[in-house]
Amino acid sequence: MLPFLLSYICEMPTERERLLRHLAPTSDSPMGLAIDRAEGVYMFDPSGKKYLDLIAGISVSNVGHCHPKVVQAIKDQADKHLHLMVYGEYVQSPQITFANALTSTLPDSLDSVYFVNSGSEAIEGAIKLAKKATGRSGLVSFENAYHGSTTGALSLMGNEEFKHPFYPLLPETSVIRHGNFDDLENVTTETAAVFLETIQGEAGIRVPSVEYMQALRNRCTETGALLVLDEIQCGFGRTGKMFAFEHFDIVPDILLLAKGMGGGMPIGAFIASNELMSTLSHDPILGHITTFGGHPVSCVAGQACLSVIQEEKLVESIPAKENLFRKLLNHPEIREIRGKGLMLALQLRDSKQLFPAIDRCIENGIVTDWFLFCDSAMRIAPPLTITEDEIAEVCAIINESITK
């Protein structure tokens, strides 16, 4: 019996092997970290080794992992009810309370919230809303834009390498250069909407100028095109404002949110005026439908997350934390630090220099990453709750990792 058991144990697959065998892959080389639990800015593997999460699940865990107020809200709601009915049919207080709290933080023209399950779904809803409201079909997006992986969102992606294998995608889409004033002429009276990440994420954190953003806003107004700002990564305090468009003194026609919105739970939204949003309710009726959008557990988590950001004054703390990162990340091989707030890109020479530095960081308990369209820059997007002492620790390890 013993030899058989030993043979069986030796043949038992590891967790990583089960990951590769039973979960659909997204790449040939996943990071493969085994995480048992997470709290605050830290994640812990089964052996108890801790990792400081410098990417927050790609700008998701803005209030840290398992914030007590978020967890308590989830537990309380789970005792009441889970899913009841497709979105929009029943009066559900978690949805109403969260929508009211969200719109109270936004300009008056953004007063109607459509809850969905993810950022990609928010994009899809906004595409439909823009076409329905304007009666137009043209869509404009930007080089190296990333808006998600569903077919409509992929149509707006600004990178042909990722799009080409999935052709044909949506027709009448065009991609223009980010920050180029001349290309604004491509926004015409046939354009339904312009989709822009207020601060580009996967391009390696690209911040447009105030002048460019205001020129884009004016061009959309002149032509009747809707300005859709994607704040799926950069919203909810990450840039030092509750919403990144506040840096540019403009207001979008449609705002897209997800990721950091739910305190770790899956939720997204597209937000517009009541006048715009009402166009989805008729001709045809139920012009946009979601079964799980506005899930009550996700909505109470989102409400708790928003309350934590406000009560703990996390947004107000971001500029000082950004300045500390910029001061302490002083390795001579760092070419540039781009971004706003705690949405930063650490530019190195090339991927051959970056990837070993990332590996070294992970070995030393700091989880960081690169960008989809910029594999020579390191992502820095920790939970907004990170302390100045933790920032100092992180920066020392990053500087050492680049040297090694």
- Domain edge (last residue) among 311, 335, 356: 311
In a domain, 343, yes or no: yes
Q: What is the pLDDT, as a whole number, of residue 375?
A: 96
Backbone torsions φ then ψ of 372, nearest 5 degrees: -55, -40
At residue 182's C-alpha, the angle toward residues 176 and 188, to 5°, is 70
Return the CATH number at 103.
3.40.640.10
CATH number at residue 51: 3.90.1150.10
Positive or negative torsion for Cα 216, 122, 271, 73: negative
Q: How far is CA 177 from the centre of its chain?
A: 22
Residue 195, amino acid? F
The residue written with tokens 């051959």 in the block is: 352
Amino acid, single-letter form, for residue 376 = S
Sheet order of strands, 343-347 included: 336-340, 343-347, 374-380, 369-371
Q: Kindly state whether residues 107 and 45 are assigned to the same domain.
A: no
Residues 114 and 20 in one domain: no
Is 2 contained in some domain? no
| % pLDDT > 90, the chain | 91
Q: What is the number of structural domains in the chain? A: 2
Q: Give this prediction's pTM.
A: 0.94
Residues 206 and 232 in one domain: yes
- Exposure string of 352-382, with b = 16+ CB inside 10 Å and e = fewer, is eebeebbebbbeeebbbbbbebbebbbbbbb
Q: For residue 149, give Cα distances in angstroms to 32, 71, 237, 262.
A: 22, 29, 25, 20
Helix (H), strand (E) at residue 142: strand 138-142
Q: Report pLDDT digits (tens) over 381-391.
A: 999 999 999 99
Helices in 182-313 by DSSP H: which ranges? 210-223, 274-277, 296-311
Determine the Cα–Cα distance for residues 235 and 244; give it in Å rounded to an integer: 6
Do 157 and 121 belong together in one domain? yes
Confidence of residue 353 (pLDDT cuts 50, 70, 90): very high
If asked whether residues 288 and 364 sit together in one domain, one would say: no
Structure confidence at residue 194 as a pLDDT band (50, 70, 90): very high
**231: how many CB neighbours lie within 10 A of its CB?**
27
Q: Are residues 225 and 326 in the same domain?
A: no
* Alpha-carbon gap, residue 334 to 384, rounded angstroms: 23
Q: What are the pLDDT digits (tens) for 52-92?
A: 999 999 999 999 999 999 999 999 999 999 999 999 999 99
Per-residue pLDDT for 94 more than 90? yes
- Min mean pLDDT across 160-164, 258-262, 321-325 is at 160-164
* Residue 77 within a domain: yes
54 burial level (CB within 10 Å; 0-12, 13-18, 19+): buried
Decide: 170 and 151 in contact? Cβ < 8 Å: yes
157 contact partners, CB below 8 Å, separation of at least 6 = 141, 145, 146, 147, 163
**β-bridge pairing 138-142 and 254-257:** unpaired
Q: Which of 222, 191, 226, 194 is nearest to 208 (CA)?
A: 194
Rounded distance between C-alpha atoms, residue 190 and residue 172, angstroms: 10
Q: Which domain holds residue 199?
A: 69-311
If phi > 0 it is left, if psi is from -120 to 50 it is alpha, else beta; for residue 179 that is left
pLDDT tens sequence across 271-296:
999 999 999 999 999 999 999 999 99
Domain-ending residue, one of 265, 290, 311? 311
**Is residue 376 domain-resident?**
yes
For residue 145, give the nearest of 121, 173, 116 by alpha carbon: 173
Question: Is residue 299 over pLDDT 80?
Answer: yes
- Total Cβ atoms within 10 A of residue 130: 28
Beta bridge partners of 371: 374
